[in-house]
Chains A and B, each alone.
Chain A
Amino acid sequence: RKEVEQDPGPFNVPEGATVAFNCTYSNSASQSFFWYRQDCRKEPKLLMSVYSSGNEDGRFTAQLNRASQYISLLIRDSKLSDSATYLCVPGPSSNTGKLIFGQGTTLQVKP
């Protein structure tokens, strides 16, 4: 299994749709997880952190399944401004802070 695996997409959805991305990871020692958002030609920005089984922030919900080693991101009521690449990042398991970024899943929300 790759360290972090994501479906690159693109996922093309209409405004208002609900869309979910999955991410699998290989390092069972990761304790924290992050979803970053990266707009075209911009830097990655933290969207959500997950430290337990899940986290919810407005239209965004992240769920963690440690047994199966996957984490999902659900976006409800998609907006045009949600169009971006979403990067799955398992937290570091060593004391170096090293993060392994997934390839990212590209979302395109259409009017």
Chain B
Amino acid sequence: DTAVSQTPKYLVTQMGNDKSIKCEQNLGHDTMYWYKQDSKKFLKIMFSYNNKELIINETVPNRFSPKSPDKAHLNLHINSLELGDSAVYFCASSQNNGLSYNEQFFGPGTRLTVL
């Protein structure tokens, strides 16, 4: 009965590789997010999709490409991985009730280490 799930939980890879992280939510929410939390613990928004439409696209390298096949899934593909990409990536979801966005629910995170 996991609400927001991510796979894999840990990802260790070499520089230059391409990798994907998957996220699924079973809360029926219409909005999903990707966050990056670096070693200094700041949690920063990267992307957001509402009903499969990209609505937030922060200043991130274009090596990062989100894909939302349906409103319950939001995947993150990263090309040509760099050392600085090492971080914990959190997926989250929320429901937009038309007036405001409700609180966000987070997945367990994917700890990415680039060697």
Contacts and interface: CB of A to CB of B under 8 A. Distances in A.
Nearest to A46: B103
Interface string A94-108: 001111110110000
Interface residues of chain B: helix, strand, loop or mixed (majority): strand
Interface residues of A, number: 22
A87 interface: yes
Contacts of B34: none
A96 B100 CA distance: 9
Contacts of A49: 103
Interface stretch (B14-22, B39-47, B61-69, B74-82): B39-47
Given A43-B90, A97-B96, A91 B101 contact: yes
Interface string B35-58: 000001111110010100001100
A92 B90 contact: no
B106 A99 contact: no
B48 A91 contact: no
Contact of B50 (A42, A46, A97, A99): A97
A43 B104 CA distance: 11
Contact of A92 (B41, B100, B106): B100
A50 to B, nearest CB: 11
16 contacts: A34-B103, A43-B106, A44-B90, A44-B106, A49-B103, A85-B41, A91-B101, A96-B48, A97-B48, A97-B50, A97-B56, A97-B94, A97-B104, A99-B45, A99-B104, A103-B41
Interface of A: 31-32, 34, 41-46, 49, 85, 87, 91-92, 96-101, 103-104
Kindly list the 10 A-B residue pairs having the minimum CB-CB distance in the complex, ordered from nearest: A97-B101, A43-B106, A101-B43, A46-B103, A96-B55, A96-B56, A44-B106, A43-B109, A92-B101, A43-B108
